[in-house]
A and B are shown apart, each in its own frame.
Chain A
Amino acid sequence: MTAAPARLAAVSARPQVGARGSALILLAPALGLCTIFIFIPAVLAIAGSFFTFGITSRVWEPAGLSNYARAFADPVFWIALRNNLIIVLGSIVLQVGFGTILAAILDRGLPRYATVFRTVIFAPMVVSAVAVALIWQVILDPNVGALNAIIKAVGLTPPTLGWLGDPAISIWVILMIACWQYTGFMMVLILAGLQGIPKELYEAASLDGARGLTAFRHITLPSIRNVLIVAVLITTIGGFKVFDLIYATTQGGPANATQVLGTYIYLQAFNLGNMGYANAISVILLGIAVVLGWVQLRVSRRA
Chain B
Amino acid sequence: MHRSLTRGGAVAALGVALTLGAALPAVAQEEVTLRMWGLVNPNYPEFIEQAAEAFKATHPNVTIQFEETPNEAFKTAIQVALVGSDPPDVFFNWAGEDSARLVRDGLVLDLTDLAMAEGQFGTTLSDAWLSTLTVDGRIYGAPTDAVTKYFYYNTRFFDEHGLTPPTSFGGLLQLCRDIRAIDPEIVPLPLGNSERWKLNHYITILNERVMGNDALRADYALTASDDQLFTDPGYVTAWGKVLELQQAGCFQDAPNATSPEVSRTMFSSEVSPMIFCGSWCMSIFDGEGFTDYALFRFPPVEDGASDGNSNMVVPQGLQVSAKTAHPEEAVAWLTHLTSPEMAKLFAQLRGALPSDPSLLGELTEATPQFLWTANDMASLATQYNVIDVELEASVANAYLDSGVEILNGTMTPEQAMESIRAAALAAKAAQN
Residues of A within 8 A of B79 (CB): 55-56, 270
Q: What would 21 A/B residue contacts be, using CB atoms closer than 8 Å?
A: A54-B105, A55-B80, A56-B83, A140-B257, A141-B259, A143-B187, A143-B266, A160-B254, A164-B194, A164-B257, A165-B194, A165-B256, A165-B258, A166-B257, A166-B408, A251-B195, A253-B404, A254-B405, A255-B408, A271-B75, A271-B76
Main SS class of interface, A: loop
- Segment touching A, from B52-60, B172-180, B393-401: B393-401
Number of A-B contacts (CB under 8 A): 98
* CB under 8 Å from chain B, chain A span 267-302: 267, 270-274
Nearest 7 pairs between A and B by C-beta? A162-B257, A165-B257, A162-B254, A165-B256, A142-B254, A56-B105, A270-B76
Partner among B75, B101, B254 whose Cβ is within 8 Å of the Cβ of A161: B254
Return the chain A residue nearest B82 by Cβ: A56
Residues A254 and B256 in contact, CB atoms below 8 Å apart = yes
A97 at the B interface (CB under 8 A): no
Contact assessment for B408 and A167 in the assembled complex, using a CB-CB cutoff below 8 Å = yes
Interfacial residues, chain B to chain A (CB-CB below 8 A) = 72, 75-76, 79-80, 82-83, 101-102, 105-107, 187, 190, 194-196, 252-259, 262, 266, 393-394, 397, 401, 404-405, 408, 410-411
0/1 string, A140-184, CB within 8 A of B gives 1:
111110000000000000011111111100000000000000000
B107→A56 contact, CB < 8 A: yes
Instruction: Tell me the complex Cα distance, A272–B405, Å.
Output: 19
B75–A162 CB distance below 8 A: no
Contact A271 B254 (CB under 8 A): no
Q: Given the known A-B contacts A161-B408, A166-B408, A273-B101, are A141 and B262 also in contact in the complex, defined by CB atoms under 8 Å? A: yes
* Contact A57 B256, beta carbon cutoff 8 Å: no
Whether A162 pairs with B253 at a CB distance below 8 angstroms is yes
- CB-CB under 8 A from B256, the residues of chain A are 161-162, 165, 253-254
Q: How many angstroms from the CA of A165 to the CA of B83 in the assembled complex?
A: 36
Task: Find chain A residues with CB under 8 A from B80 CB.
Answer: 55, 270
Which A residues fall within an 8 A CB radius of B? 54-58, 137, 140-144, 159-167, 250-251, 253-256, 266-267, 270-274
Query: Does A165 lie within 8 Å of B254, measured CB to CB?
Result: yes
Enumerate chain A residues within 8 angstroms of B252, measured Cβ to Cβ: 142-143
* B75 close to A143 (CB less than 8 A): no
Q: How far is the CA of A57 from the CA of B106 in the complex (A)?
A: 9
Complex: A267 Cα to B252 Cα, angstroms: 28
List A contacts of B259 (CB < 8 A): 137, 141
Contact yes or no, B254 A55, CB < 8 A = no
Contact among A55, A161, A274 with B83 in the assembled complex (CB-CB below 8 Å)? A55
CB distance from B408 to the nearest CB of A (A): 6
Minimal Cβ-Cβ distance residue in B for A148: B254
Whole-angstrom distance between the alpha carbons of A251 and B195 in the complex?
8
Partner of B194, one of A55, A160, A253, A272: A253
| Given A55-B80, A251-B195, A255-B410, A272 contacting B257 (CB threshold 8 A) | no
- A165 vs B255: C-alpha distance when bound (angstroms): 8
Nearest chain A CB to B346 CB, angstrom units: 29
Bound form: Cα–Cα A144–B265 in Å: 10
Task: Give every chain A residue within 8 A of B404 (Cβ-Cβ).
Answer: 253-255
Contacts of B401 in A (CB 8 A): 255-256
